[in-house]
Structure 1
Amino acid sequence: MRGAASDVLADLRARVGRLEGATTRKRSVLPFGVKAIDQRLPDGGLAIGALHEVAGGGNGAVDGAAAALFAAGIAARTKGQVLWCVTRHDLFAAALAQAGLGPERVIYVETGDEKALLASFEEGARHGGLGAVVAEVSCLSMTSSRRLHLAAEASGTMAIAVRRWRRQTEAADFGQPTSSVTRWRVSALPSEVLPVPGVGRARWLLELIRCRAGESADFVVEACDAEGRLDLPADLADRSHDAGDGRRRA
């Protein structure tokens, strides 16, 4: 019965993909290497030639930094240079390096406004010679996201929009529909407890709040290591899937 249900689910995902304009061939993906996460994603990983969105779980700087580090960890596991577009250069390069994205791989583009940033984002996604393109954007319309996704799809480059807001009123834009294949929300949790005084590995609540042809879920994970990889905390790794390491959300 389980095999039959899996076949039905795979057929439904293929139909949804065709309706949304996806190609029938199996696309290239970048697995997280964490089974609980990869099994929630179509084809077992993040689509490479596609647009993805990431935001902090709250409006504070801590969650915003966690979202940027999550994006950095993904970009770090791609091959080639990474273009990072910002309207003001306030990234902490040492933190990106701790997430696996060393300064020798990052090309920064600082623009004067959001319009120029989106144009640089699209040009980078369309270039085809980059491992990933990341841009910190506050607003992302359906039209802009569609152009970005098509550019990434044509070049085979992963595009990641890190949603970052200067004002509280801009945060509501994250709930608007876009053409992103996945949408993630990252919130900082208390770090790993150590047997001696000190600060352990950071932990995040990672929410997959939208996944094209997939399901929503949330996970408690250990933050990206020096190779950009996530992990399940030791006290959760041996639990069953239904015990809370990937609960489905409405």
Structure 2
Amino acid sequence: MSRFRLMPEASTRTEILAHLREAIADVRSREAAALPFEIAQLDDRLADRGLDGAALHEIAPAAPALSDEAAATLFVAGIAARMAAMTDARVLWVVSRFDLYAPGLEQVGLSPERLIFAEGREDRDVLALMEDGLRHGALAAVIGEVRRADMTASRRLQLAADAGKTPAFLSRRWRRQGVCPLTELSAASTRWRIGCAPSARLPASGVGRPRWTVELVRQRGGNPFSLLLEACDDTGRLALPAAAQHRAAPAVGAAARAA
């Protein structure tokens, strides 16, 4: 029987250890880093301390309303913007209907020069284009919008994300009232539900920073949770709402009656 040798027999222990360190460093250099949200209350609850950069993640609106659909889209766009900035690469966004609002994406940091759009006629075309983009391995992220994706499709995307060391974000649209898209089985590493929440009251007339309910419905190796967060800024970053003691005092007297 032949014997596998890491190094020639004449090699010293020091040379063998050096060889192993180089091999481990090479493997680690090809691994996709996790992207933290940089919010301790969020990252501390994630099994990977951030979003796995070589896995499938799913996002759905909390309700089939335009406001929640917009919030879910901007949530994904903000993450993709940060991925693009971190890797200096482009984002592939695949749709079956072209209804994205480019100025809105740019407001959360995802500028047109960072985007590649593709359009598929059916959900299966969107999924196939996503898989090709993921296996390419040179993109910052791949996003796809579908109404239906079964367990087999999600497994294929997960395998492609791992092979290409590229994060996949599957945005699931509502198909019928009362049935959340995330009730379907999936191989995704994380599954998120995003909805709009009331903004904080301002001391003067105006519109405050939007707020979202960010619910992690499921994660591999961790527990679900829900947080109230302020929407993405122009760099794609979320924020915790200001603590009560740091908020502006509410208007009183004549100012309150005039509001």
Which TM-score band applies after superposition, normalised by the shorter structure? 0.7 to 0.9
Q: Secondary structure at the match of 2:243?
A: helix
Partner of 2:183: 175
From the superposition, tell whether residues 45 and 140 of structure 1 become closer, same or farther in structure 2 (CA, over 3 Å).
same
Partner of 2:27: none
Given that residues 60 and 181 in structure 2 are in contact (C-alpha distance below 8 angstroms), is that contact kept between their aligned partners in structure 1?
A: no
Matched, 1:87 2:96: yes
Partner of 1:195: 203
Matched, 1:126 2:131: no
Deviation at 1:173, TM superposition (A): 4.2
* 1:98-177 correspondence to structure 2 within 5 Å: 98-165=107-174, 167-168=175-176, 171-177=179-185
Deviation at 1:114, TM superposition (A): 1.1
CA distance in 1, matches of 2:200, 2:100: 25
Given that residues 91 and 114 in structure 2 are in contact (C-alpha distance below 8 angstroms), is that contact kept between their aligned partners in structure 1?
A: yes
CA distance in 1, matches of 2:177, 2:208: 35
CA distance in 1, matches of 2:223, 2:38: 18
Partner of 1:32: 37
Question: Aligned to 1:230, which of 206, 229, 238?
Answer: 238
CA distance in 2, matches of 1:230, 1:179: 26
* 1:207-226 correspondence to structure 2 within 5 Å: 207-226=215-234
CA distance in 1, matches of 2:32, 2:94: 26
CA offsets, 1:113-156, max 9 Å, x none?
A: 11111110111111100000000111111100000000001111
Given that residues 32 and 166 in structure 2 are in contact (C-alpha distance below 8 angstroms), is that contact kept between their aligned partners in structure 1?
A: no
Partner of 1:6: none
Deviation at 1:169, TM superposition (A): 5.9
CA distance in 2, matches of 1:133, 1:237: 40
Specify the code of the residue in structure 1 equivalent to 2:137: G
Deviation at 1:100, TM superposition (A): 1.1
Deviation at 1:28, TM superposition (A): 2.2
Could you list the runs of 5+ residues in structure 1 that have no partner in the other structure? 1-25, 239-250
Q: CA RMSD in A?
A: 2.1
Q: How many residue pairs are counted as aligned between the two chains? A: 214
If you compute each CA radius of gyration, which structure gives the higher value, 1 or 2? 2
TM-score of the aligned structures, taking structure 2 as reference length:
0.78
TM-score of the aligned structures, taking structure 1 as reference length:
0.81
Specify the code of the residue in structure 1 equivalent to 2:146: V
CA distance in 2, matches of 1:184, 1:120: 22
Percent identity between matched residues is 47
Specify the code of the residue in structure 2 equivalent to 1:214: G
CA distance in 2, matches of 1:236, 1:121: 43
Question: Aligned to 2:73, which of 60, 68, 72?
Answer: 68
